């Protein structure tokens, strides 16, 4: 049986900002593929090209040159309307700062992407949002606004919103960056569970311990892809279980 084509294929990708003497090459002929079901961490210091790469993978920006195929479609060649439909159908986004609308409840925030899907009634939007939040164990927080939720709860609402359209790829930009260690591990445990259920995850991070929870690691430096390695993922649940309980006193030296 022939192997399925990669869900993401990037070849000699270049992104340049500015022109002439002020030109900045954020990506320099980056090439890699991601197959369905992988959990890939993209690592690099500030200025390495991580955010630029994420914007291109998320169909939010176009490369200066090179190939990017998503589900076999030539992304740079697509119209804006087609890109919007592709993002809505194929991609889910999770951000470091959650990006929840403060005036909306958790349920209303999760419903937002469904407003752009034709043929989905208000009742269906409500039902699908409630199901997505139940998957995040937030059924008792449907009517809470972001300011009434903890950071971890806000990130789980954001993940529910990313999943409500059943995307094939989840793009996570520093999803634990604003969370404490315990809460960050809870989010990583959730991402690993979603990946085991078949969701492709591409996670942007600068933290080694976060990247260690992926099954593959890409390393960017100054716009170059300098590393691409398969690894045995650390189980975030095991790390979480090893943390002292919040009611335990710290061990004195």
pLDDT score, position 20: 74
pLDDT score, position 173: 95
Averaged over 47-70, what is the pLDDT?
A: 94
pLDDT score, position 250: 41
pLDDT score, position 252: 37
Give the Å distances, CA to CA, from 32 to 55, 61, 199, 222: 16, 18, 19, 17
d(CA 244, CA 98): 27
Handedness of CA 113, 119, 122, 124 (dihedral sign): negative
Share above pLDDT 90 across residues of the chain, in percent, rounded to a whole number? 81
Query: Is the pLDDT confidence value at 247 over 50?
Result: no
pLDDT score, position 1: 57
pLDDT score, position 225: 97
pLDDT score, position 253: 35
Candidate from 30-34, 78-82, 125-129, 190-194 with smallest mean pLDDT: 78-82
pLDDT score, position 246: 62
Per-residue confidence band for 23, with pLDDT thresholds at 50, 70 and 90: confident
Which of 25, 12, 117 shows the shortest CA–CA distance to 69? 12
In the Cβ-directed half-sphere of 152, how many Cα atoms lie within 13 Å? 15
Any idea which residue has 């200025």 for tokens? 47
Averaged over 159-170, what is the pLDDT?
A: 96
Give the Å distances, CA to CA, from 24 to 17, 20, 58, 137, 205: 5, 9, 21, 44, 22
Beta bridge partners of 69: 9, 74
Per-residue confidence band for 248, with pLDDT thresholds at 50, 70 and 90: very low
Please provide the distance, in angstroms rounded to a whole number, between the alpha carbons at the two ends of the chain.
Answer: 59
Per-residue confidence band for 74, with pLDDT thresholds at 50, 70 and 90: very high
Share above pLDDT 70 across residues of the chain, in percent, rounded to a whole number? 96
Query: Is the pLDDT confidence value at 196 over 60?
Result: yes
Axis crossing angle, helix 181-196 with helix 151-163, rounded to the nearest 10:
20
Query: Is the pLDDT confidence value at 251 over 70?
Result: no
Q: Per residue in 99-154, pLDDT tens?
A: 999 999 999 999 999 998 888 999 999 999 999 999 999 999 999 999 999 999 99
Per-residue confidence band for 64, with pLDDT thresholds at 50, 70 and 90: very high
pLDDT score, position 185: 95
Which domains does the chain possess? 8-242 (3.40.50.300)
CB 110 within 8 A of CB 153: no
Mean of per-residue pLDDT scores for the chain? 92
d(CA 203, CA 173): 6
d(CA 135, CA 77): 36
Q: Per residue in 199-239, pLDDT tens?
A: 999 999 999 999 999 999 999 999 999 999 999 999 999 99
């Amino acid at each position: 049986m022939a192997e399925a084509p990669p869900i993401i294929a990037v070849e000699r990708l270049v992104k340049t900002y500015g022109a002439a003497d002020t030109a900045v090459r954020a990506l320099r002929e980056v090439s890699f593929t991601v197959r369905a079901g992988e959990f890939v961490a993209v690592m690099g210091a500030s200025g390495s090209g991580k955010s630029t790469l994420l914007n291109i993978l998320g169909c939010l920006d176009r490369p200066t040159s090179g190939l990017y195929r998503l589900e076999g479609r030539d992304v740079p060649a697509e119209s804006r309307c087609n890109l919007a439909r592709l993002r809505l159908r194929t991609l889910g986004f999770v951000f470091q700062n959650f990006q929840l609308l403060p005036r909306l409840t958790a349920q209303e925030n999760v419903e937002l992407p469904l407003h752009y899907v034709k043929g989905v009634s208000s009742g269906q939007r409500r039902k699908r949002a409630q199901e997505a939040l139940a998957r995040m164990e937030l059924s008792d927080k449907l009517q809470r606004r972001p300011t009434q939720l903890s950071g971890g709860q806000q990130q789980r609402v954001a993940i529910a919103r990313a999943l409500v359209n059943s995307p094939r790829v989840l793009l996570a930009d520093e999803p634990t960056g604003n969370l404490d260690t315990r809460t960050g591990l809870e989010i990583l445990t959730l991402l690993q569970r979603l990946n085991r259920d078949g969701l492709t995850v591409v996670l942007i991070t600068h933290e080694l311990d976060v990247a260690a929870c992926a099954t593959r690691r890409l390393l960017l430096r100054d716009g170059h892809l300098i590393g691409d390695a398969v690894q045995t993922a650390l189980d975030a649940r095991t790390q979480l279980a090893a943390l002292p309980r919040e009611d335990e006193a710290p061990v004195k030296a």
